[in-house]
Chain A
Amino acid sequence: MTTEKKLTSLAECSHGDCFVIKELNIEGTLRRRLLDLGFVKGAEVVVLHKSPLGDPVAYRVSNTTIALRNDESSNIFGEIVRGDLK
């Protein structure tokens, strides 16, 4: 697992980051649900806003805003392709 070292989790991204999904470390219906919502391998995700307590966080994925809890986003792995867009 040499490649895994380089991957960061979506939960570690900061506001404005653009992230490309490489893998979902989630199984079962939750995985299915995330795939249906557009969290698929290769998809670009932009971190939009954080809620006051930092959880959940709103993301933009394939043209729609979706909020994820830390439990979910910490199991989505990929690379940050661009830092803060602002």
Chain B
Amino acid sequence: MRANTIALAGNPNTGKSTLFNTLTGLKQHTGNWPGKTVIHAEGSFEYNGEQYVLVDLPGTYSLFSNSTDEEVARDYIIFDQPDATIVVLDATSLERNLNLALQVLEMTNNVIICINLIDEAEKKGIRIDEKKLSRELGIPVVKISARNKKGIDQLLATLSDLVNGKIMTTPYRMTYSQEIEDAITKIESKLKVYFQDTYPSRWLALRLLDGDEELILKLQHHNNNRQLEVKTHDVPISVKS
């Protein structure tokens, strides 16, 4: 049986790694991301008879590839395409944290927002209406305290429902000015010819409009590699790249 891969994203100091340790216990190993001096931590756990592999992405404020950390986190979500991404937010500074959440929502449909440090927030008199947030963002929102192991069961139940297709998400996507929206539509239709539905076309179109040349090179490289891996009856066939 195939394990579900789950990515953990979030700002620095939101308790992402605390949640990672809570969920995986000692079943984890760390190393570096290939070719990068960025720590890669991966762990596994079982829930309701299903296997999960959890990948702790580097803590970042954004996913626009300003730094190696951001590049690693972005590439994992776009190219490795985990079955679900959990975005960990700090309940005490939601405004800052939602920036990253909105970026992840533009990249994938399979997202759970996990509001951590909820007991810290309550101490400060902050109350969060997670149902309203969930309605507005179109994805499940769970409140937890990773340190005190509160809300973990609900997070796992939601995760299981999401990867088994019991929850349909409708992630909130920013609507840009008419000019940009027209450009997105044009680029998206062309992208579909090249990549079918391999990558999130709306997000790609936005990155191309932003002039992200590095990403274009990476896409070419990635697409070529994928084609070269095609085999028939174990006989590799070379595909023109």
Which residues of chain A have a CB within 8 Å of any CB of chain B?
29, 32-33, 36-38, 62-64
Contacts and interface: CB of A to CB of B under 8 A. Distances in A.
B172 interface: no
Contact of A32 (B66, B92, B95, B96): B66
Contact of B61 (A29, A36, A63): A36
B210 to A, nearest CB: 9
Give the most central of A36, A37, A64: most B CB within 10 Å: A36
B62 interface: yes
A38 B61 CA distance: 9
Contacts of B64: 32, 36
Interface residues of B, number: 9
A33 B66 contact: yes
Interface string B81-123: 0000000000011011001000000000000000000000000
Given A36-B99, A64-B96, 17 more contacts: A29-B66, A32-B66, A33-B62, A33-B66, A36-B61, A36-B62, A36-B66, A37-B61, A38-B95, A38-B96, A62-B93, A62-B95, A62-B96, A63-B92, A63-B93, A63-B95, A64-B93
A33 B67 CA distance: 10
A37 B99 CA distance: 9
A16 to B, nearest CB: 22
Nearest to B63: A36
A38 B92 CA distance: 15
Contacts of B99: 36
Contacts of B93: 62-64
Main secondary structure of the interface of A (DSSP, over half): mixed
A67 to B, nearest CB: 15
Contacts of B66: 29, 32-33, 36
A63 B62 contact: no
12 contacts: A29-B66, A32-B62, A32-B66, A33-B62, A33-B66, A36-B62, A36-B64, A36-B66, A38-B96, A63-B92, A63-B93, A63-B96
B213 to A, nearest CB: 12
Contacts of B61: 36-37
Contacts of A32: 62, 64, 66
Nearest to A63: B93
A10 to B, nearest CB: 18
Interface in B5-64: 61-62, 64
Nearest to B96: A62
A69 B93 CA distance: 24
A28 to B, nearest CB: 10
Contacts of A36: 61-62, 64, 66, 99
